[in-house]
Structure 1
Amino acid sequence: MKKVNIGGVPEHFNLAWYLTLKNGDYKKEQINLRWHDYYGGTGAMCKALRNKEIDIAVILTEGIIRDIINGNPSKIVQTFVQTPLIWGIHVAHDSPYQTIEDLKGTKAAISRYGSGSHLMAYINAENHKWDLEKDLDFEIIKNLDGAVEGLTNGKADYFLWEKFTTKPLVDDGTFRRIGNCPSPWPCFVIAVREDFIASNKDDLETILNIINNATCQFKEIPSIDKTIANRYEQQLEDVQEWLSLTEWSQSLIDKPTIVNVQKQLFALDIIPEVVGYENLIYRL
């Protein structure tokens, strides 16, 4: 049986992977797919791909594009979630900041440099016409638990994270959400190490066929809203709103999207150059 390691964030977006694993769908095809949770998000997964700790990552589009351009020997083989990620902009509950404009020049908590929380802080600053040199400052907090500690004790002032994942922390009074910042592109892609593609193409195609069949039918699963609410400790109405806004994909990310992501990252000086579409994707 072929062992394959895959990584992703332990969030509701990835429940279809958990359900197919629980059902033994990969083992039926002689694939021992092992899921690894990455609480540190994109930056941690990029590192794991480089170190060959995982073969596949379900990862933020902008983060993996940046890391491939910076030398990560991986390729995007498919879009996983077609809709944008809605990043909530959070402050500590007792923070004096009331609006996004109040945050200008203060310190953003980020999981690590090159992470989604780091890149989206730039996008948010650009959206509000801030000076990217003077008005941005960062504190590395590693993960969501680190953000709770960092904002609560004043090490950082605000934090961007997926709005529905952080909603329980807003509900319990840990955070206040003072705005949203949707990513200007499809949020999650599936990236695979090049050496794994070269030697395991058939297994990769099998894995993608299984997960794509699952995401096609995901919203039709009986009581899926209740399952998500219970598993991720979320309010049922929040889950129902999230489901109504989210669309999965079974296709390769297209060239105009790749160009748009790179243009924005390059304009923000996050990548050193814009590269060709074929440098970032692999067609199975």
Structure 2
Amino acid sequence: MTTVKIGGVPEHFNLAWYLTLKDGEYKQENINLRWEDYPGGTGAMSEALRTGEIDMAVILTEGIIKDIAEGNPSKVVQIFVETPLIWGVHVAAGSEFKSIEDLKGKRCAISRFGSGSHLMAYINAENHGWDLDTDLNFEVIQDLEGAVKALSNGDADYFMWEKFMTKPIVDSGVFRRIDNCPTPWPCFVIAVRDEFLKANENVVKIVLEIINNTTIDFKEIPSIDRMIANRYELQLEDVQEWLSLTEWSQSHLKAATVKEVQEKLMKLDILTEQKPYSEIVKNI
């Protein structure tokens, strides 16, 4: 039996992995798939791929493209979620900040440098015409729990995270969401370490086939909205809205998208050199 270590955020996007594991679908193919939650997100998973702590990751598109371009020995093998991620821009509920303009030059909480919360802060700043050198300041807070502490204690001023995951924190009166910032591209991809992919390409193909068979009909699973609401402690109506906005994918990442992401990161001065499509993506 081949062991495959895979990482992802403990969020509703990844419920399909839990369902296929629960049903023992990988074991039937002689694959021991071991899922690891990464609450720290993309930066933590990129590091885990680099060190060999995991073999595969379900990871934010812009984060892994940046990290591969900077030397992470991995490849993107498929898109996982086709639709953009909607990032909420959050402040402490009792703070004086009312609009995006109020946050110019303030301290942005990020899980770590190179993470999605870090990269999206740049995209949000660019969207509003800020000076990327002087209007962005960062406080590293590790994860969502760290962000709650930082904003509540006044150690940071705002925080960007997927809006439906943070909705319970908004509803409970800890955060206030003042705006949304969608990614300009498909939000999640599946990446695999080069060394593992070279030795186990057929195993990776089978893993992708199994997960794709579930995501292709994910929305048709009976009571899937209630299952998500219960498992992730979300309101049913929020889950239903999220499902209506979200499309999974079984397709390869296109060269045009890789180019667009790298060009955007170059423009934001958070990537110094573009890499060719073949060094970032392997279509298997």
| Deviation, structure 1 residue 75 | 0.3
Amino acid across the alignment from 1:60: L
Q: Deviations over 1:48-72 (max 9, x none)?
A: 0011010000000000001001110
| Deviation, structure 1 residue 100 | 0.6
Is residue 59 of structure 2 the alignment partner of residue 55 of structure 1?
A: no
Correspondences of 1:1-284 after superposition (within 5 Å): 1-284=1-284
CA distance in 2, matches of 1:30, 1:277: 32
Amino acid across the alignment from 1:170: V
CA distance in 1, matches of 2:39, 2:234: 18
Q: Deviations over 1:147-200 (max 9, x none)?
A: 000000001000000000000000000100000000000000000000111100
CA distance in 2, matches of 1:146, 1:130: 26
CA distance in 2, matches of 1:178, 1:283: 39
CA distance in 2, matches of 1:203, 1:160: 36
TM-score (norm 1): 1.00
SS state at 2:135 partner: coil
Q: RMSD value over aligned CA atoms?
A: 0.4
Amino acid across the alignment from 2:256: P
SS state at 1:249 partner: coil
| Deviation, structure 1 residue 277 | 1.0
Amino acid across the alignment from 1:281: V
CA distance in 1, matches of 2:271, 2:17: 31
CA distance in 1, matches of 2:53, 2:277: 26
SS state at 2:84 partner: coil
| Deviation, structure 1 residue 223 | 0.3
SS state at 1:134 partner: coil
Amino acid across the alignment from 2:204: L
| Deviation, structure 1 residue 99 | 0.4
Amino acid across the alignment from 1:191: A
CA distance in 1, matches of 2:59, 2:169: 23
Amino acid across the alignment from 1:144: L
- Unmatched segments (≥5 aa) in structure 2: none
Amino acid across the alignment from 1:221: I
CA distance in 2, matches of 1:162, 1:169: 12
Q: Deviations over 1:85-107 (max 9, x none)?
A: 00000000101000011100100
| Deviation, structure 1 residue 279 | 1.1
| Deviation, structure 1 residue 251 | 0.8
- Unmatched segments (≥5 aa) in structure 1: none
SS state at 1:271 partner: coil
TM-score (norm 2): 1.00
Q: Deviations over 1:26-50 (max 9, x none)?
A: 0000000000000100000000001
CA distance in 2, matches of 1:283, 1:149: 42
Structure 1's consecutive aligned runs of 4 or more residues displaced over 3 angstroms after TM superposition are none
SS state at 2:159 partner: strand
Identical positions, percent? 67
SS state at 1:190 partner: strand
| Deviation, structure 1 residue 283 | 1.5
Amino acid across the alignment from 1:12: H
